[in-house]
Amino acid sequence: MVETRSRSRWSFASRRVIETAGLLLVLICAESCTWDAAEREYLAALRGDEEDMTREEQIAHLDRALEIAPERARYFETRAIYRIDMLDFDRALSDLDRAIELAERPYLRFLHGLVLCQSGRYREALPDFDAAIVGQPENTQFYRGRALARVHAGVPMEALEDADRLVTLVPQQAESHYARGRALAELDRDKEALAEYNEAIRQRPELVYPLRARADCLERLGDSAGARADHATADRLAAERRNCRLCLDPFRY
């Protein structure tokens, strides 16, 4: 009789262990399947670049991914980038705000600053660039963003400090010379600015915005013919490279 009760107690305990383990397995599987479903949607959005999806179709995949897994910062970041491509800056900023809230890192603050600049909110962008630089001071593109934002925010001396650093660290990048040219032009140092624009155009002749800046510089220096020639070249390049945002927009990431 004692042995029977003992076996009965053991059998009950075993069933409880098995039931608990089974429940845990169900929960783990459910969570895994949920995350897998979100990741599948995310990967489908990324594959859209090779599958000729529209940005709207890619965003639809990300919308579904975020419905399933709303705490994944990289989903918000990717959707923000697609919205930037569509010039939907307000919603891109909203996505970046959420990504920063979930998992702040320097590049996200840099990207947030760029979108603010693309929206014409240059002074608001400065704290983002400051935070990005504090978090990753060796990343030179952060200084380029801040230099250009400072030009537009009306602090050209500070812009020149960033641009000087760029030209020292990455002189082989046309964007460094463009940023320095913009800062110098704001300081009414047009002859020096012209040299910087010339170097930027020499390094990357496909960029439209240094041509526009050089045309304005030449106009101020009294070279109207040169200014007209640069504007004409810039118009032609802008038409040829209308799908190259990097060629058209200095605040493009």
Summarised one tens digit per residue, pLDDT across range 73-113 is 999 999 999 999 999 999 999 999 999 999 999 999 999 99
| Residue 178 pLDDT exceeds 80 | yes
**pLDDT given at position 34:** 54
Going by C-alpha positions, the residue among 183, 188, 187 that lies closest to residue 197 is 183
Q: How many CB atoms lie within 10 A of CB 125?
A: 28
* Residue % of the chain over a pLDDT of 70: 86
Distance CA(132)–CA(194), nearest Å, equals: 30
pLDDT band, residue 114 (cuts 50/70/90): very high
What mean pLDDT is predicted for residues 205-219?
A: 98
Q: Does domain 14-103 have CATH number 1.25.40.10?
A: yes
**Domain parsing of the chain, residue ranges:** 14-103, 131-253
pTM, 2 dp? 0.83
**pLDDT given at position 253:** 75
Evaluate whether 14-103 and 131-253 have a shared fold: yes
* DSSP-assigned states of every residue in 120-158: T-HHHHHHHHHHHHHH-TT-HHHHHHHHHHHHHHT-HHH
- 32-79 pLDDT, tens digit each: 455 599 999 999 999 999 999 999 999 999 999 999 999 999 999 999
Rounded alpha-carbon distances, angstroms, from residue 241 to 82, 180, 244, 246: 19, 24, 5, 9
Q: Does domain 131-253 have CATH number 1.25.40.10?
A: yes
